[in-house]
Amino acid sequence: MSNEPIALGKALASFDALWSPRIVTRVNDYDVRVAKVEGEHIWHVHDDTDEFFLVLDGELHISLREPGGERTVRLPQGAVLTVPRGTEHKPSAPTGASILLFEPTGTPTVGDRHAEIPDHIDATTGHALGS
């Protein structure tokens, strides 16, 4: 990883793929990823790690299946949410959004358990910026 500043807007402008995060830097054993999202992701669970979301632009919805039932959280630009490990969740962005994710290196975008993966979802552990 570079020790030079990284402009997130420039990083986001370097790719067009939706639901296909790019790794902009690493912090210890964690990836800082950016992604463009629109439409729906899939229901999935990360068994051993929390997942941090920061909305850079647009609005992100995250549906959560919790012991008390199902709910959807709406995150406007600038909002953050940490989905606790073991919580089934499904991100979506009806009108599109740009997000930053912070999670352990090697964490799959579709979690450890998930619904069938449609073609518009990139099942990855993140791509290098510029790839």
CATH number at residue 118: 2.60.120.10
- Taking the C-alpha atoms of residue 75 and residue 93, their distance in angstroms, rounded to an integer, is 10
Mean pLDDT of the chain: 95
The verdict on residue 3 lying in a domain is no
- Taking phi over 0 as left and psi of -120 to 50 as alpha, with beta for the rest, 18 belongs to beta
The verdict on residue 1 lying in a domain is no
For the chain, the domain total comes to 1
Model confidence at 34: pLDDT above 90: yes
- Taking phi over 0 as left and psi of -120 to 50 as alpha, with beta for the rest, 120 belongs to alpha
Q: Which two tokens stand for residue 32?
A: 């800082």
The verdict on residue 107 lying in a domain is no
pLDDT digits (tens, 9 = 90+) for 68-116: 999 999 999 999 999 999 999 999 999 999 999 999 999 999 888 888 8
Model confidence at 131: pLDDT above 70: no
What does the pLDDT average to over 30-56?
97
